[in-house]
Chains A and B, each alone.
Chain A
Amino acid sequence: MSEVFLKIENLTKNFGQFTALRDISLEVFQGEFVCFLGPSGCGKTTLLRAIAGLDIQTQGSIAQAGADISVLPPAERDFGIVFQSYALFPNLSVEKNVAYGLESRRAQRDEISQRVAELLALVDLADQAKKYPAQLSGGQQQRVALARALATSPGLLLLDEPLSALDAKVRAHLRMEIKDLQRRLAVTTIMVTHDQEEALTMADRIVVMNHGVIEQIGTPQEIYASPASQFVADFIGTMNFLSARIASSGKCLLEATEIAVDTSGLEAGQQVQLAVRPEDIHLEAKESASAEEQNQTPGTIESMEYLGAFVRATVKLHQSGARVQADLSAGDIDQWAMAPQAAVAVTLPADKIRLYPLDA
């Protein structure tokens, strides 16, 4: 996984006056599974369509397998694609759909039917070959579309929100299947999604996009644990944001509480947003809530929400009046006799805190 397979440089896409993508640069490695993740309208589909040549970029270049494909029409590129609507040909049976890309390649008839059978087995639909798309469930249709896209063994597989039309259970199951299939075939894959869970569970690397620019590129762990911008921090998972000010190198002030934290890149006096995830906050019962210990500030539990494996407490901080969410395990609750109205000490672990400069 070291060879660059797809290289996008300084790509910009305008629709009239509107800039849908601004100066996008990106590398995708051979055999990698990359997700484009971002809110609706951020340009994910636009970028995917540019890669496919369906809607060409205004500026910038794209190279695939070392060859410049920037202005090639789709038919001269090497990719398979699955759309959100699947776009299965309604008047052709499942096997004809899958065979669609094979037939004109001068392949022998039995060669084709063998390949189709192989593909249908791959997506676990061998018994549905003669049916029409309308006679299949959504998840089955999705897998037919996948088989059709893979039939010609493309070097690049493009998936535009392939799971969004399915209900939650089927979606979770197909996530695993697609990921598994992708790993077995080692086909370089780009998937567009606005579902962060999908991206976190499936991708080798995630490209987080917002308003036509890339906010961050990284593995799911990197994106989750060290979001590069306030947008990413906010978009992925749940995050508490608190206003703070840099006191000195390695220290910031959350009202009267001194917080030890990595302040590299920030200057004393600068206003920042302090970000910390609910699961990283420690709560302990404290009768006389004072703020002597470092990274600890007093608060009161306002409410508790039972979420199955854990309980999410909303805590009001005494000094600022701001509210944070903190997760408690069943053990925590027993040990500290946590309940609404309980006074607590809120600890923000230095290594789990991230600071983002306040935009002007």
Chain B
Amino acid sequence: MAGMRHRSGTHGSPLRRKSSTDDRAMRLFILVIAIYLVIALAFPLYVMFSKSLENSQGAFVGFQNYLEYFNTPALVYSIQNSLFIGVVTTTITVTIAFILAYALTRSRMPGKPVFKTIAMIPILVPSLLPGIALIYLFGRQGLINELLFGYEIYGPIGIVIAEVFFTLPHALIIIITALSIADARLYEAATALRANRARIFFTVTLPGVRYGLISAAFVVFTLSVTDFGAPKVIGGDFNVLATDIYKQVIGQQNFEMGAVVSMVLLLPAGLAFVVDRIVQKKQVALLSARAVPLEPLPNKRFDNLMLTYSIIISIFILGILGVCQFAALVKFFPYNLSLGFSNYQFDLMDGGGWDSYFNSIEMASYTAVFGTIVVFAGAYLVEKGQGLGPIRGAFQFLAMLPMAIPGLVLGLAYIFFFNAPSNPLNFLYHTMAILVISTIIHFYTVSHLTATTALKQMDSQFESVAASLKQPFYRTFLRVTVPVCTPAILDISIYLFVNAMTTVSAVVFLYSPHTTLASVAVLNMDDAGDIAPAAAMGMMIFYTAAGVKILHYLLSRGIEARTQAWRVAVAK
């Protein structure tokens, strides 16, 4: 045969496939998204690190800032405080969440969906809100401050309570998942061996969820150590790493020291992230084993106990929310308790007024729309693309990285990178665009994992079949991949929207007078002493997020009903 140029026995370099138009297009797209991740994530972080090695004139000074940091007792003390808050919050939250998850999965108490929904509410509010409620309850003029027996709510007590409220849903989701994959056969075996309830609990239940508990503990620890809202509102003089960054940057304009504290804050978050990834892998291995789902048996005493417990937790959550709504409506606490909407006249206060609220909705909508497109397309290209192995590997790493970056650190890194006059992207600074760009990055990892999971569940031969039928990849992407993954796509967009509404940490460094946000307004009004309007704005965020969540629920139900005919196949 004449054209056999590729024959070569056993030696010679391996053959490489000629690139198709599709291959080239997909590589181009993946490069575009990878460049976005590099510019919006890798570069800023790198610039921040190098800033921590410079003095305020921009001269390289090695680790001198770090030396100064560790020789300033007031600053170093915050490390201890942060760790203290992290450990105490983790212990309390994981315990509470475990018992609640146990009630939701292992009892026959009534009203489980209601309790579960209530426990998820904290996701819909900024972390500043529980602090505000605590001031109304336990502050100097608080409604029930006698209950503290003279202790001060401003400080570790307040921070921990607020963090427990804020982190509970995150721990709960993980532990419920861990408890639901339990294998009924193990329990049957243990019962057959006449083990009593307590023994079964310690020999079967706890070991079965150990990865879930570890994972939940690390997630809660990271959230509470890196959170900025609660210590800002109710921390008083109790300094933590997150508030230090804010004070160094906003208060003292000491950007270099802010960078140093950020690097310090990266350590616990990064460590927690690594441990969590390792544990997640093991958990997945457990998940894929074929288990018989456990059906809890009725047990009157136990069910009543669990019901009581769930009611108490629900009262705690709804109480915090109720107090905020009460605070928002009361005319002048505690002197004039009549109700009205005067606190909703945001335009009369600092913080940007009603514009902030509408800016937030705009920002959250852009984040949801563009974020979902970028994240889903990115995950698709990484999963299905051909060639460019190293770039896809780097992409995967960059997609996982944001999970380990606290919002404040990201925000500060953006100041350093985008505010530099020499940066051609400088024009983005102080725009709506930079808020959207940073928020997408901030919440990239979870969205990316959701997309990847959905894509992995699809038949991997779709693309092969489409290629054999000479169909361009984007056609199959739009006609098959996207419709089949619609539930995951909706999940991602709602996740991005809600988080964009409630987040404070990254955007607090990036908003401008034209792009004030509702969550930042809560912070600034609280700072200015306008606590009631801050509560009112916080509740506006809650109602908006909850409304969108409900809309999402109805939409998903509608889509489910419409696609029922073919969904059977995907579920199989």
Asked if A pairs with B, the answer is yes
* Partner-B contacts on A (CB < 8 A): 7, 9-10, 12, 14, 23, 52-54, 56-61, 63, 66-68, 70-77, 79-81, 83, 85, 87-92, 100-101, 104, 132-135, 148-149, 151-152, 154
In the assembled complex, the CB of B299 is this many whole angstroms from the nearest CB of chain A, namely 40
CA distance A52 to B463 in the complex (A): 13
Instruction: Kindly state whether residue B475 has any CB partner on chain A within 8 Å.
Output: yes
Q: Count chain A CB atoms within 10 A of each CB in B9, B471, B569, B572 and give the residue with the most.
A: B569
In the assembled complex, the CB of B97 is this many whole angstroms from the nearest CB of chain A, namely 36
CA distance A149 to B3 in the complex (A): 28
Inter-chain contact A73/B23, CB cutoff 8 Å: yes
Q: Which of B14, B462, B569 is close to A132, meaning CB atoms less than 8 Å apart?
A: B569
Inter-chain contact B7/A101, CB cutoff 8 Å: no
Inter-chain contact B15/A133, CB cutoff 8 Å: no
In the assembled complex, the CB of A151 is this many whole angstroms from the nearest CB of chain B, namely 8
Closest to A62 in B: B6
Instruction: Kindly state whether residue B67 has any CB partner on chain A within 8 Å.
Output: no
Inter-chain contact B459/A85, CB cutoff 8 Å: yes
CA distance A56 to B387 in the complex (A): 12
B479 to chain A: which residues have CB within 8 Å?
89, 92
A-B contact count (CB 8 A): 140
Inter-chain contact A61/B7, CB cutoff 8 Å: yes
CA distance A80 to B9 in the complex (A): 29
B570 to chain A: which residues have CB within 8 Å?
90, 134
Inter-chain contact B565/A89, CB cutoff 8 Å: no
Contact status of A52 and B464, CB under 8 A, knowing A67-B3, A91-B484, A100-B471: yes
Q: Which of B1, B468, B469, B568 is close to A63, meaning CB atoms less than 8 Å apart?
A: B1
In the assembled complex, the CB of B185 is this many whole angstroms from the nearest CB of chain A, namely 28
Contact status of A59 and B459, CB under 8 A, knowing A75-B470, A76-B20: no
Contact status of A73 and B566, CB under 8 A, knowing A57-B15, A85-B459: no
Instruction: Kindly state whether residue B17 has any CB partner on chain A within 8 Å.
Output: yes
CA distance A73 to B471 in the complex (A): 13
Instruction: Kindly state whether residue B301 has any CB partner on chain A within 8 Å.
Output: no
18 A-B interface contacts by CB (under 8 A): A56-B15, A58-B15, A63-B4, A68-B1, A71-B16, A72-B18, A73-B20, A73-B467, A74-B464, A79-B468, A80-B468, A88-B569, A91-B484, A91-B563, A134-B565, A134-B569, A134-B570, A151-B469
Instruction: Kindly state whether residue B425 has any CB partner on chain A within 8 Å.
Output: no
A74-B467, A75-B20, A134-B566 provided; 5 other pairs, C-beta below 8 A? A58-B15, A71-B16, A75-B470, A83-B461, A149-B468
Inter-chain contact B464/A68, CB cutoff 8 Å: no
Inter-chain contact B468/A10, CB cutoff 8 Å: no
Instruction: Kindly state whether residue B12 has any CB partner on chain A within 8 Å.
Output: yes
A59 to chain B: which residues have CB within 8 Å?
8-10, 12, 14-15
Instruction: Kindly state whether residue B373 has any CB partner on chain A within 8 Å.
Output: no
In the assembled complex, the CB of B21 is this many whole angstroms from the nearest CB of chain A, namely 8
CA distance A336 to B471 in the complex (A): 67
Closest to B483 in A: A91
Contact status of A148 and B19, CB under 8 A, knowing A92-B480, A134-B566: no
Inter-chain contact A73/B563, CB cutoff 8 Å: no
Inter-chain contact A83/B465, CB cutoff 8 Å: yes
A88 to chain B: which residues have CB within 8 Å?
569
* Binary CB contact string for chain B from 462 to 502 against chain A (1 if under 8 A, 0 otherwise): 10111111111001000110011000000000000000000
In the assembled complex, the CB of B526 is this many whole angstroms from the nearest CB of chain A, namely 49
B1 to chain A: which residues have CB within 8 Å?
7, 63, 66, 68
Inter-chain contact B567/A53, CB cutoff 8 Å: no
Q: Which of B3, B7, B566, B567 is close to A60, meaning CB atoms less than 8 Å apart?
A: B7
CA distance A284 to B116 in the complex (A): 80
Inter-chain contact A12/B10, CB cutoff 8 Å: yes
CA distance A75 to B470 in the complex (A): 5
Inter-chain contact A53/B568, CB cutoff 8 Å: no
Instruction: Kindly state whether residue B290 has any CB partner on chain A within 8 Å.
Output: no
Inter-chain contact A83/B464, CB cutoff 8 Å: yes
Closest to A70 in B: B6
CA distance A89 to B466 in the complex (A): 10
B19 to chain A: which residues have CB within 8 Å?
73
Inter-chain contact B469/A101, CB cutoff 8 Å: yes
Closest to A102 in B: B469
Inter-chain contact A135/B565, CB cutoff 8 Å: yes
CA distance A102 to B224 in the complex (A): 56
Q: Count chain B CB atoms within 10 A of each CB in A70, A73, A80, A89 and give the residue with the most.
A: A89
Inter-chain contact B4/A101, CB cutoff 8 Å: no
Inter-chain contact B4/A56, CB cutoff 8 Å: no
In the assembled complex, the CB of A222 is this many whole angstroms from the nearest CB of chain B, namely 26
In the assembled complex, the CB of A273 is this many whole angstroms from the nearest CB of chain B, namely 31
CA distance A152 to B468 in the complex (A): 10
CA distance A52 to B465 in the complex (A): 10
Inter-chain contact A89/B468, CB cutoff 8 Å: no
CA distance A10 to B8 in the complex (A): 8
In the assembled complex, the CB of B212 is this many whole angstroms from the nearest CB of chain A, namely 32
In the assembled complex, the CB of A91 is this many whole angstroms from the nearest CB of chain B, namely 5
Inter-chain contact A10/B572, CB cutoff 8 Å: no
A135 to chain B: which residues have CB within 8 Å?
565, 568
A56 to chain B: which residues have CB within 8 Å?
15-17
A67 to chain B: which residues have CB within 8 Å?
3
B197 to chain A: which residues have CB within 8 Å?
none
Closest to B563 in A: A91
Inter-chain contact A104/B475, CB cutoff 8 Å: yes
Instruction: Kindly state whether residue B194 has any CB partner on chain A within 8 Å.
Output: no
Inter-chain contact A60/B465, CB cutoff 8 Å: no
Contact status of A134 and B568, CB under 8 A, knowing A91-B484, A100-B471: yes
Inter-chain contact B462/A71, CB cutoff 8 Å: no
Q: Count chain A CB atoms within 10 A of each CB in B467, B480, B570 and give the residue with the most.
A: B467
Inter-chain contact B12/A63, CB cutoff 8 Å: no
A72 to chain B: which residues have CB within 8 Å?
17-18
* Binary CB contact string for chain B from 271 to 307 against chain A (1 if under 8 A, 0 otherwise): 0000000000000000000000000000000000000
Instruction: Kindly state whether residue B22 has any CB partner on chain A within 8 Å.
Output: yes
Contact status of A71 and B470, CB under 8 A, knowing A87-B465, A91-B484, A133-B566: no
A92 to chain B: which residues have CB within 8 Å?
479-480, 566
Inter-chain contact A71/B465, CB cutoff 8 Å: no
B567 to chain A: which residues have CB within 8 Å?
90, 134
CA distance A66 to B1 in the complex (A): 8
CA distance A35 to B462 in the complex (A): 24
Contact status of A73 and B483, CB under 8 A, knowing A9-B7, A12-B10, A52-B468: no
Closest to B23 in A: A73
CA distance A74 to B6 in the complex (A): 17
Closest to B486 in A: A91
In the assembled complex, the CB of B475 is this many whole angstroms from the nearest CB of chain A, namely 7
Inter-chain contact A91/B17, CB cutoff 8 Å: no
CA distance A152 to B480 in the complex (A): 20
B462 to chain A: which residues have CB within 8 Å?
87, 89
In the assembled complex, the CB of B388 is this many whole angstroms from the nearest CB of chain A, namely 15
Inter-chain contact A10/B9, CB cutoff 8 Å: yes
Inter-chain contact A81/B464, CB cutoff 8 Å: yes
Inter-chain contact A148/B15, CB cutoff 8 Å: no
Q: Which of B10, B15, B22, B565 is close to A75, meaning CB atoms less than 8 Å apart?
A: B22
Closest to B19 in A: A73
Closest to B571 in A: A134
